[in-house]
A and B are shown apart, each in its own frame.
Chain A
């Protein structure tokens, strides 16, 4: 299972764009990159998934370079309610969560 490394915490302000980069140097050919969001006392919620290049949905964008050794989750114009822990996962058929990145959005 590919190991991921992401920052422990990030601070931002309302209306700004937040970019969280995750390193996964040992990613395998069949692995996908997935990001989840978790609020306190709740289970994680799926945000986005990608294999290569760029993926965008109504919540976020995911940028994956050609070598796939890293990925960047981009949250546009964050609000206070985006304060949460964000997890980067590299998955084949089972999903293991690391410590995640705690994003704090301030007014």
Chain B
């Protein structure tokens, strides 16, 4: 069966510090991978998606970046965090079999920038 891992679960970082969040997927090959951010009380904002190794599409201009060094690994990074980067970060994957838009989400990382 497929599983998706995210770490860390919670993170408190000062403004201006770097960020690295990691997401890995098991039990599937060549998935589409996604990074979302959810601010408190808000909907999910799509940040990045990837259809393959090294292929990253950015949805929103910001100080975040994403990378996909391996088929089932997706990393979200920042060189210098802003207060507005606080939020709940979710990684998700979707398989390519058929015409299903069922996404599977990881447990999320709660980031607080102080």
Chain A 48-71, CB-CB to B under 8 Å as 1, else 0, gives 010000000000000000000000
How many residue pairs link A and B with beta carbons under 8 A? The number is: 58
Bin chain A's interface residue count: 20 to 34
Contact A44 B105 (CB under 8 A): yes
Given contacts A32-B99, A97-B43, list 5 more A-B pairs with CB under 8 A.
A42-B105, A43-B105, A91-B101, A95-B34, A95-B101
Q: Is B46 an interface residue (CB 8 A)?
A: yes
Interface residues of A (CB under 8 A from B): 32, 34, 36, 41-46, 49, 85, 87, 89, 91, 93-100
Q: Is B88 an interface residue (CB 8 A)?
A: yes
Q: Is B49 an interface residue (CB 8 A)?
A: yes
Contact A94 B46 (CB under 8 A): yes
Q: Is B103 an interface residue (CB 8 A)?
A: yes
Contact A87 B43 (CB under 8 A): yes
- Chain B 27-59 interface residues, beta-carbon cutoff 8 Å to A: 32, 34, 36, 42-46, 49, 51, 57, 59
- Interface SS of chain B: strand
Bin chain B's interface residue count: 20 to 34
Closest 9 CB pairs of A and B: A43-B105, A97-B44, A99-B43, A46-B102, A96-B46, A34-B101, A91-B101, A43-B90, A97-B43
Interface residues of B (CB under 8 A from A): 32, 34, 36, 42-46, 49, 51, 57, 59, 88, 90, 92, 94, 99-108, 110
Q: A94-B46, A96-B59 are in contact. Are A45 and B101 (CB under 8 A)?
A: no
Contacts of B94 on A, CB cut-off 8 Å?
Answer: 95
Q: Which of A34, A43, A87 contacts B92 (CB 8 A)?
A: A43
Contacts of B88 on A, CB cut-off 8 Å?
Answer: 41
Q: Which of B43, B100, B107 contacts A43 (CB 8 A)?
A: B107
